[in-house]
């Protein structure tokens, strides 16, 4: 005879919210403002508006940024090799590429450079001029592992279940929903073929369905 049901004392595992691959344009804007007062504000901005990878963003040097012509030149990844962070060439020759940035993004990046100078004056001799574009207030670089982890923690605090890499998916999906041509999007991402872009990053959404199908008439159906 069973006197006690041991299963009653066992706590069932908590249901986890599945991670989404991308968010809408409006959700990205809200997420962007959430990160405004963090060290990760600029990386989030660049990922969501250019589709660059975290290693590419963290690997940007000041000389890669050309705000006068709204361009970023992607050349290196920041990677962890032999127990230290180092710059390594991007994945393929197509990954080494110029990336256009929106004028509104250039405006924010110019403000960021002014803020960086103010922080350098504040820290004085303790400031570390790392040479990287994305920096902490004391000048140190931001590594992609820490960036990814901190992004996830902060995003989930505000109920965004998306990885940092999901911002790359988000950027591509937004461009596709706006009707931008696939070849340009693939070049922007550094893909060797458009097939990689469509198979990996382009996700069907109700917006894209409306754009594609909304003007189609079916007169043969008649009326009910």
Q: What is the pLDDT of residues 84-135, one digit of tens each?
A: 999 988 665 567 888 888 899 999 999 999 999 999 999 999 999 999 999 9
pLDDT of residue 18: 56
**Residue 166: its H or E element:** helix 166-177
Quick check: 109 and 44 in contact, CB under 8 A? no
CATH number, position 171: 1.10.443.10
Residue 208 pLDDT > 70, yes or no?
Answer: no
Nearest 10 degrees: Cα torsion 179, 167, 64, 37: 120
Please tell me the pTM assigned to this model: 0.76
- Tally Cβ neighbours within 10 Å of residue 112: 15
> Mean per-residue pLDDT for 162-184?
79
40, 59, 89, 168 from 84: Cα distances, Å: 21, 14, 16, 26
Gap between the terminal Cα atoms of the chain: 66
Q: Is residue 14 part of a domain?
A: no
Point out the least confidently predicted range of 72-86, 95-109, 161-175, 203-217: 203-217
Which residue reads 């002014």 in tokens? 114
Which DSSP state fits 200? H
Residue 153 pLDDT > 60, yes or no?
Answer: yes
Which residues have a Cβ under 8 Å from the Cβ of 20 and sit 6 or more positions away?
161, 162, 166
Q: Is residue 47 part of a domain?
A: yes
Range of the domain at 147: 19-204
- The confidence band for 213, taking pLDDT boundaries of 50, 70 and 90, is very low
Name which of 108, 29, 124, 95 is nearest 65 in CA terms.
108
* 16 against 111, higher pLDDT: 111
Name which of 186, 189, 167, 132 is nearest 19 in CA terms.
167
Q: Is residue 100 part of a domain?
A: yes
pLDDT of residue 216: 47
Percent of the chain residues topping a pLDDT of 90? 54
Q: Is residue 13 part of a domain?
A: no
Q: Is residue 144 part of a domain?
A: yes
Q: Give the count of domains, the chain.
A: 1
Q: Is residue 161 part of a domain?
A: yes
Residue 167 CA neighbour count, 13 Å, CB half? 27
Q: Is residue 4 part of a domain?
A: no
DSSP letters, 21-85, are S---HHHHHHHHHHTTTSTTHHHHHHHHHH---HHHHHT-BGGGEEGGGTEEEE-EEEEEETTEE
Q: Is residue 216 part of a domain?
A: no
């Amino acid at each position: 005879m069973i006197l006690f049901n041991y299963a009653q004392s066992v706590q069932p595992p908590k249901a986890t919210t599945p991670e989404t691959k991308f968010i809408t344009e409006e959700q990205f804007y809200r997420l962007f403002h959430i990160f405004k007062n963090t060290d990760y504000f600029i990386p989030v901005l660049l990922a969501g508006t250019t589709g660059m990878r975290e290693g590419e963003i963290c690997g940007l040097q000041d000389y890669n940024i050309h705000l006068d012509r709204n361009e970023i030149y992607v050349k290196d990844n920041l990677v962890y090799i032999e127990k230290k962070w180092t710059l390594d060439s991007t994945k393929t020759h197509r990954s080494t590429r110029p990336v256009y940035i929106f004028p509104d993004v250039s405006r924010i990046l110019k403000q960021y450079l002014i803020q960086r100078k103010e922080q350098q004056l504040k820290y004085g001799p303790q400031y570390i001029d790392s040479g990287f574009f994305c920096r902490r207030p004391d000048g140190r670089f931001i590594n992609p592992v820490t960036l990814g982890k901190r992004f996830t923690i902060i995003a989930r605090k505000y109920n965004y279940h998306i990885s940092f890499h999901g911002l790359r998916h988000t950027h591509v999906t937004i461009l596709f929903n706006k009707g931008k041509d696939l070849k340009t999007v693939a070049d922007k991402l550094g893909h060797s073929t458009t097939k990689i872009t469509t198979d990996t990053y382009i996700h069907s959404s109700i917006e894209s369905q409306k754009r594609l199908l909304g003007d189609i008439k079916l007169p043969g159906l008649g009326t009910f």
